[in-house]
Amino acid sequence: MDFHIFPFVLVAIFILHGSCYSHKGSYEFMKDATLAPTMARFDYIVIGGGTTGCALAATLSQNARVLVLERGGSPYENPRAMDIDNFYNTLFNITPDSWSQPFISEDGVFNVRARVLGGESVLNAGFYSRAEESFVEKSEWEMEEVEAAYEWIERKLVFKPQVGGWQSAFRDGLLEAGVLPYNGFTLDHIVGTKIGGTTFDPAGHKHSAADLLAYANPHMIDVYLHALVHKIIFTTRGGDQRPKAYGVIYQDADGVFHKAELAENAMNEVILCAGALGSPQLLMLSGVGPKAHLESHGVNPVVLDLPMVGQGMADNPMNSVFVPSPAPVEMSLVEVVGIPKFHSYIEGLSRVSLANNLNSRFFDGVLNLLNKTSFSTTSITNILKSIDLHFMDEMEVDGWIVTKVDGPLSRGYLELRNKNPDDNPSVTFNYFQEPEDLERCVKGLKTVMKVIDSNAFSRYKYPNATARELLNLMLSRPINLRPRHESALTNLTQFCIDTVITIWHYHGGCQVGKVVDKNYKVFGIDSLRVVDGSTFFKSPGTNPQATSLMLGRYMGQKILRERNALRKKNEDYSIIKDETNIFSSSSK
Ligand SMILES: Cc1cc2nc3c(=O)[nH]c(=O)nc-3n(C[C@H](O)[C@H](O)[C@H](O)COP(=O)(O)OP(=O)(O)OC[C@H]3O[C@@H](n4cnc5c(N)ncnc54)[C@H](O)[C@@H]3O)c2cc1C
Ligand SMILES: *[C@@H]1O[C@H](CO)[C@@H](O)[C@H](O)[C@H]1NC(C)=O
Ligand SMILES: *[C@@H]1O[C@H](CO)[C@@H](O)[C@H](O)[C@H]1NC(C)=O
Ligand SMILES: *[C@@H]1O[C@H](CO)[C@@H](O)[C@H](O)[C@H]1NC(C)=O
């Protein structure tokens, strides 16, 4: 290296490094809730510092006092846990306060939700891809503002993946299977095969929504961790007046309860960002939801009978196949995606492996959860007998090709199990209830089989194994708790039903038009919005996180614009009043 340029290289490395880690793993305004006052006032109280909540709170703090209450801890406490090599370890590491909280839907499918600042953007596979244009149109969002909000996110979190051998072969296999045209690297949702964005940087470190808090005004925001919100509190002002949210009650890790209230200003709001499960659950626990259901769980008082809370929950069905490879494969999560004309998406992951024992520990934890579902003990025993549990002890998969059904059209519901906000509510997704979802799944699987059998992919598949044989092996794997049918060996429709798992894109318990209006304000209640994945009428794009992040920024900007407009109007009004009435200054 030329001696003279050496200092410059050092400076450049420092700057590059600095841009990746613009803050050293913490923020002054982030504290444990045990340090919170018993009572404090803010302009906005954001419940849930997750994917959407962090983007929203950072934005609001530019011009208002913001409180963020997150039930989990800090992702910066263990930054290595977010590295690409630890994706599965972190996901499968389940303890009472780990970042990953498992749940099992009543459909018999294992699932997880997040419990950490940054939410599921901390746990996820990092794939980043924007929503389809029709999603933006149907949401009645302003296209230019949406564009600006996506860009704000992307400047901080999104990278171009370095596509290796396995992902390249997978991409070429998709092209050979007819998922055309090839669109190269793009964040846009367009028909064909493409390389999308990733929140993993080139060194394999994931950047989560928590990093967006670096955009926050540190003097205007408080973030409390291990702050479990128990309920939103309302004034009802008697008579037939609308209820108005005016604060929240939350609990710290020592079990101490705290209160936070909105400061006196009609523009101030409580904003629920607790995620697809957390938001409908917390509305219900606060007395907003289907009246009879709330009463049966002793929720008192019922503030508003809102029957659609928790209705319309959906999870996009995913079906998948493990493909052992004779050639070594790189470790990759989702980088390439196939977007065919029919409504299914195809994605691939390589070198899936888990630290020793994690699998069986996860499985034990999950089996304990079964006590809480409504499965009968005999049906569970029968299911467990029919699947090969030992497979889990030595899980090592070279290639994993998956298909996700767009939408979906099938819908379910969420119900309370108890009054503990940290416990999982009961969720039923009704996978494949709508025949169209099944048709989409079958088409997706046919394309997956073509990719596996393609020439382009042949290097990563044993020549003696056919795609159909590999598919059928999935029927004996403990990937879900659903009954298996002999006919699934030859009938792809049955195969879809028997081997459905989740891609973790569940959404929809507080949908726009059903629970919130198109400005995300809860129907019938003042000063309360829901802004997160629970409001989606379908899963946006191939994968939702880009749009969840964008929505936080977009709504933050919109709320601040409304706030400024009203402030301006009041100022103009008070100037007029001051000019016309010399006594007006004493009235404020
Ligand atoms: C394993 C996995 C892989 C995924 N892979 C991808 C991918 O590659 N690409 C992609 O686009 N999407 C992916 N997703 C989906 C995507 O990450 C989520 O859809 C999205 O992040 C959800 O954002 P959200 O803001 O709605 O909820 P969340 O991010 O879950 O935020 C909700 C937050 O609220 C907190 N909370 C809940 N209840 C309370 C309470 N009572 N008090 C205080 N806090 C509370 C939670 O702890 C959480 O932090 C994946 C998800 C998972 C789980
Ligand atoms: C679940 O039920 C089994 C059998 O009834 C019992 O042994 C086990 O302790 C239960 N687990 C939990 C977490 O309740
Ligand atoms: C295919 O070949 C590999 C290696 O030669 C072998 O391990 C595997 O069992 C074979 N599979 C089948 C289905 O014959
Ligand atoms: C395949 O399975 C589905 C679901 O059980 C069933 O409705 C259909 O009739 C089956 N098709 C054939 C050809 O058997």
Residue 356 has pLDDT above 90, yes or no: no
Q: How confident is the model over 516-527, as a mean pLDDT?
A: 98
Q: How confident is the model over 378-392, as a mean pLDDT?
A: 58
Establish if 125 belongs to a structural domain.
Answer: yes
DSSP string covering 274-340: -HHHHHHHHHHHTTEE-HHHHHHTT--S--EE-TTTTEEEB--EEEEEEE--SS----B-S-EEEE-
Locus of tokens 């929140």: 199
Task: Give the residue ranges of the annotated binding site.
Answer: 51-52, 70-71, 116, 229, 504-505, 533, 544-545
Look up residue 326 and give its two tokens.
Answer: 């004779």
Residue 324 has pLDDT above 70, yes or no: yes
Establish if 284 belongs to a structural domain.
Answer: yes
Residue 540 has pLDDT above 70, yes or no: yes
Q: How confident is the model over 13-23, as a mean pLDDT?
A: 38
What type of residue is 214?
A: A
Residue 278 has pLDDT above 60, yes or no: yes
H-helix or E-strand containing 90?
A: helix 87-92
Which range among 292-301, 394-403, 541-550, 573-582 shows the weakest confidence by mean pLDDT?
A: 573-582
Locus of tokens 């994968």: 543
Residue 71 has pLDDT above 50, yes or no: yes
User: For residue 357, what pLDDT is reported?
Assistant: 59
221-235, 388-402, 570-584 — most confident range = 221-235
User: For residue 170, what pLDDT is reported?
Assistant: 98
Look up residue 10 and give its two tokens.
Answer: 């050092």
Which of the ligands is closest to the CA of residue 486? 4
Q: Residue 340: is the preceding peptide bond cis (ω within 30°)? A: no
For residue range 105-152, list pLDDT tens digits in order.
999 998 999 999 999 999 999 999 999 999 999 999 999 999 999 999
Residue 375 has pLDDT above 90, yes or no: no
Q: How confident is the model over 512-526, as a mean pLDDT?
A: 98
Residue 101 has pLDDT above 90, yes or no: yes
Residue 556 has pLDDT above 70, yes or no: yes
User: For residue 236, what pLDDT is reported?
Assistant: 84
Q: How many domains does the chain have?
A: 2
Residue 586 has pLDDT above 70, yes or no: no
Angle between the N-to-C axes of helices 545-580 and 51-60, in degrees from 0 to 180, rounded to the nearest 10: 30
User: For residue 141, what pLDDT is reported?
Assistant: 98
Task: Give the residue ranges of the annotated binding site for FAD.
Answer: 51-52, 70-71, 116, 229, 504-505, 533, 544-545
What type of residue is 335?
A: E
Look up residue 337 and give its two tokens.
Answer: 């995606």
Write the residue with the smallest CA distance to atom 47 of ligand 1: 115
> Same structural domain for residues 493 and 521?
no
Backbone angles phi, psi at 374, to 5 degrees: -95, 15
> Same structural domain for residues 65 and 121?
yes
CA–CA dist 76, 69 (Å, integer): 17
> Same structural domain for residues 540 and 400?
no
Residue 237 has pLDDT above 90, yes or no: no
Handedness of CA 374, 477, 83, 156 (dihedral sign): negative
Q: Calculate how far, in angstroms, residue 371's C-alpha sits from the geometric centre of ligand 2.
A: 6
Write the residue with the smallest CA distance to atom 9 of ligand 2: 368
User: For residue 20, what pLDDT is reported?
Assistant: 40
Establish if 447 belongs to a structural domain.
Answer: yes
Q: Calculate how far, in angstroms, residue 136's C-alpha sits from the geometric centre of ligand 3.
A: 48
Ligand 1 neighbourhood includes 228 CB (under 6 angstroms):
yes
Contact 357, 392 (CB under 8 A): no
R_g (Cα) of the chain, nearest Å: 25
Residue 22 has pLDDT above 70, yes or no: no
Mutate to test the pocket of ligand 1, among 30, 97, 124, 354 (most ligand atoms within 8 A of CB): 124
Mutate to test the pocket of ligand 1, among 120, 511, 551 (most ligand atoms within 8 A of CB): 120
Establish if 128 belongs to a structural domain.
Answer: yes
- Report the CATH number at residue 102: 3.50.50.60
Q: How confident is the model over 226-232, as a mean pLDDT?
A: 98
Of the two residues 446 and 370, the one the predictor is more confident about is 446
- pLDDT band for 289, please (50, 70, 90 cuts): very high
User: For residue 386, what pLDDT is reported?
Assistant: 55
CA–CA dist 404, 204 (Å, integer): 25
> Same structural domain for residues 309 and 390?
no
H-helix or E-strand containing 350?
A: strand 344-353
Cβ atoms within 10 Å of 156's Cβ, excluding its own: 18
Q: How confident is the model over 362-391, as a mean pLDDT?
A: 62
Q: Using DSSP, state whether 100 is helix, strand or coil.
A: strand
Locus of tokens 């004996």: 476
Which structural domain range is residue 134 located in? 3-159+206-313+506-568
Ligand 1 neighbourhood includes 407 CB (under 6 angstroms):
no
Backbone angles phi, psi at 75, to 5 degrees: -70, -15
Last residue of a domain, one of 502, 520, 545: 502
User: For residue 488, what pLDDT is reported?
Assistant: 97
Locus of tokens 């289907």: 290
| Strand bridging mode 244-251 / 127-128 | unpaired
Establish if 585 belongs to a structural domain.
Answer: no
Write the residue with the smallest CA distance to atom 3 of ligand 3: 462
Look up residue 209 and give its two tokens.
Answer: 């929504």
CA–CA dist 527, 519 (Å, integer): 12
> Same structural domain for residues 483 and 510?
no
Last residue of a domain, one of 457, 480, 502: 502
> Same structural domain for residues 218 and 362?
no
Look up residue 154 and give its two tokens.
Answer: 């992307």
Contact 393, 364 (CB under 8 A): no
User: For residue 3, what pLDDT is reported?
Assistant: 34
Q: Calculate how far, in angstroms, residue 108's C-alpha sits from the geometric centre of ligand 2.
A: 18
User: For residue 570, what pLDDT is reported?
Assistant: 84
Region of 90 please: left (phi>0), alpha (psi -120 to 50) or beta: alpha
CA–CA dist 489, 474 (Å, integer): 10
Partners of 195 in beta bridges: 185, 336
CA–CA dist 396, 398 (Å, integer): 7
CA–CA dist 529, 526 (Å, integer): 9
Residues having CB closer than 6 A to ligand 4 are: 487, 491, 493-494
Q: How confident is the model over 286-305, as a mean pLDDT?
A: 97
Q: How confident is the model over 194-200, as a mean pLDDT?
A: 98
Closest CA to 198 of 129, 127, 124, 131: 127
User: For residue 202, what pLDDT is reported?
Assistant: 97
CA–CA dist 519, 530 (Å, integer): 9
For residue range 422-471, list pLDDT tens digits in order.
999 999 999 999 999 999 999 999 999 999 999 999 999 999 999 999 99
- pLDDT band for 197, please (50, 70, 90 cuts): very high
User: For residue 351, what pLDDT is reported?
Assistant: 93
Q: How confident is the model over 69-86, as a mean pLDDT?
A: 96
CA–CA dist 421, 274 (Å, integer): 10
> Same structural domain for residues 150 and 30?
yes
User: For residue 360, what pLDDT is reported?
Assistant: 63
For residue range 181-190, list pLDDT tens digits in order.
999 999 999 9
Last residue of a domain, one of 446, 469, 502: 502
> Same structural domain for residues 402 and 453?
yes
Q: Calculate how far, in angstroms, residue 492's C-alpha sits from the geometric centre of ligand 4.
A: 8
Of the two residues 98 and 15, the one the predictor is more confident about is 98
Q: How confident is the model over 198-223, as a mean pLDDT?
A: 98
Establish if 177 belongs to a structural domain.
Answer: no
For residue range 141-178, list pLDDT tens digits in order.
999 999 999 999 999 999 999 999 999 999 999 999 99
User: For residue 577, what pLDDT is reported?
Assistant: 61
> Same structural domain for residues 218 and 344?
no
> Same structural domain for residues 118 and 222?
yes
Question: Does the annotation mark 505 as catalytic?
Answer: yes
Q: How confident is the model over 294-322, as a mean pLDDT?
A: 97
Closest CA to 125 of 393, 281, 374, 333: 333
CA–CA dist 453, 173 (Å, integer): 8
Cα first-last separation, the chain: 69
Angle at CA 128, nearest 5°, toward 24 and 86?
55
Closest CA to 321 of 165, 487, 176, 496: 496
User: For residue 471, what pLDDT is reported?
Assistant: 97
User: For residue 576, what pLDDT is reported?
Assistant: 64
461 Cβ contact list (under 8 Å, min separation 6): 323, 324, 325, 326, 399, 452
Establish if 422 belongs to a structural domain.
Answer: no
Q: How confident is the model over 352-376, as a mean pLDDT?
A: 66
Of the two residues 102 and 289, the one the predictor is more confident about is 289
Contact 202, 44 (CB under 8 A): no
- Report the CATH number at residue 492: 3.30.410.40
Helices (H), 357-453: 358-369, 377-386, 435-452
Q: Calculate how far, in angstroms, residue 194's C-alpha sits from the geometric centre of ligand 2.
A: 47
Handedness of CA 143, 146, 152, 156 (dihedral sign): negative
Establish if 415 belongs to a structural domain.
Answer: no
- pLDDT band for 7, please (50, 70, 90 cuts): very low
User: For residue 95, what pLDDT is reported?
Assistant: 84
Closest CA to 59 of 151, 157, 122, 152: 152
Percent of the chain exceeding pLDDT 70 equals 86
Buried b (16+ CB within 10 A) or exposed e, 125-155: bbbbbbbbeebbeebebeeebbeebbebbbe
Q: How confident is the model over 544-557, as a mean pLDDT?
A: 98
> pLDDT averaged over the chain?
90
Contact 247, 53 (CB under 8 A): no
Residue 49 has pLDDT above 90, yes or no: yes
> Same structural domain for residues 220 and 272?
yes
Closest CA to 51 of 208, 262, 260, 238: 208
DSSP-assigned letter for residue 497: H
Q: How confident is the model over 269-276, as a mean pLDDT?
A: 98
CA–CA dist 245, 269 (Å, integer): 7
> Same structural domain for residues 263 and 396?
no
Which range among 59-73, 342-356, 428-442 shows the weakest confidence by mean pLDDT?
A: 342-356
